[in-house]
């Protein structure tokens, strides 16, 4: 598979999130991890000829075209929705309540989502 600039950015965001979490900035780590998963969803939707202008539309379309159809594990859709909520807390609340365990789960989900997506893209290209 050829390199995809948005997936390359996703990898950078995952690495950045790890560094931010190690530094104790869980809110920023949550934001980077959400965006990494959001970009993955955008790449996948683009691969089937779809594009959307809002985050909620991307999440909904991803669910419709990839989770409900079984193209990819539905846990990635749930992880994307959860990451959106956690990013909202981290970005807009003075005390988000995010904990290291939350970030570790988001990190695992983002890495797994990226790996599964690359496999799907390789298979369909």
The answer to whether residue 2 scores a pLDDT higher than 80 is no
**3-state per-residue secondary structure call for 10-42:** HHHHHHHHHHHHHCCCHHHHHHHHHHHHHHHHH
CA atoms 16, 32, 67, 125: torsion sign: negative
pTM confidence score: 0.95
Domains of the chain: 5-124 (1.20.120.330)
**Mean pLDDT, the chain, whole residue set:** 96
Contact criterion met (CB below 8 Å) for 112 and 40: no
pLDDT at 112 over 70: yes
């Amino acid at each position: 598979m050829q390199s995809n600039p948005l997936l390359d950015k996703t990898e950078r965001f995952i690495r950045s999130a790890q560094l931010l979490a190690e530094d104790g900035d869980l809110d920023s780590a949550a934001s980077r991890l959400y965006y990494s998963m959001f970009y993955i969803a955008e790449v996948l939707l683009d691969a089937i000829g779809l594009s959307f202008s809002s985050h909620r539309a991307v999440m909904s379309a991803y669910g419709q075209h990839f989770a409900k159809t079984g193209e990819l594990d539905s846990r990635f859709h749930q992880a994307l929705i959860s990451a959106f909520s956690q990013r909202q807390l981290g970005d807009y609340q003075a005390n988000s309540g995010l904990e290291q365990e939350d970030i570790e789960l988001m990190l695992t989900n983002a890495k797994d989502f990226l790996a599964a997506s690359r496999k799907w893209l390789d298979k369909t290209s």
